[in-house]
């Protein structure tokens, strides 16, 4: 990927590169296709990992990334059971290990 970005150098000699949203989108897509970890890709391309993460979140929030999708349904679904009366008592015993035992009973 050819860099055609505005580059500035700080007093400490750090290189600051300004990229457009379109350039970040291209970088993020290239990283996804590369099979490399984000850290390795950023190191090879001179990109700050924090900036990559920020732009990934920003573009995901704007639904601008391929594969961005609606939020998934909750992992747990509440199941309601009708209450019934218990004729006999109920006793539950859990042995938690380390000599700890929890007993619950309803008489």
Quick: pLDDT tens for 54-89.
998 888 877 655 555 566 677 777 777 776 766 777
Share of the chain above pLDDT 70, in %: 73
Q: What whole-number distance in Å separates Cα of residue 21 and Cα of residue 72?
A: 26
Helix axes 38-45, 49-61, angle to 10 degrees: 110
Contact 19, 5 (CB under 8 A): yes
pLDDT at 11: 57
pLDDT at 3: 47
Q: pTM, whole model, 2 decimals?
A: 0.48
**Of 57, 47, 38, nearest to 16 (Cα)?**
47
- More confident call, 1 vs 76: 76
Mean confidence (pLDDT) of the chain: 78
């Amino acid at each position: 990927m050819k860099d055609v970005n505005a580059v500035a150098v700080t007093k400490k000699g750090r290189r600051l590169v300004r990229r457009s949203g379109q350039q970040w989108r291209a970088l993020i897509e290239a990283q996804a296709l590369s099979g490399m970890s984000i850290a390795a890709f950023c190191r090879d391309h001179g990109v700050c990992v924090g900036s990559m993460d920020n732009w990934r979140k920003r573009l995901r929030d704007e639904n601008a990334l391929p594969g961005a999708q609606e939020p998934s349904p909750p992992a747990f679904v509440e199941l309601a059971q009708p209450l019934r009366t218990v004729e006999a008592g109920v006793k539950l015993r859990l042995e938690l290990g380390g000599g700890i035992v929890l007993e619950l009973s309803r008489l």
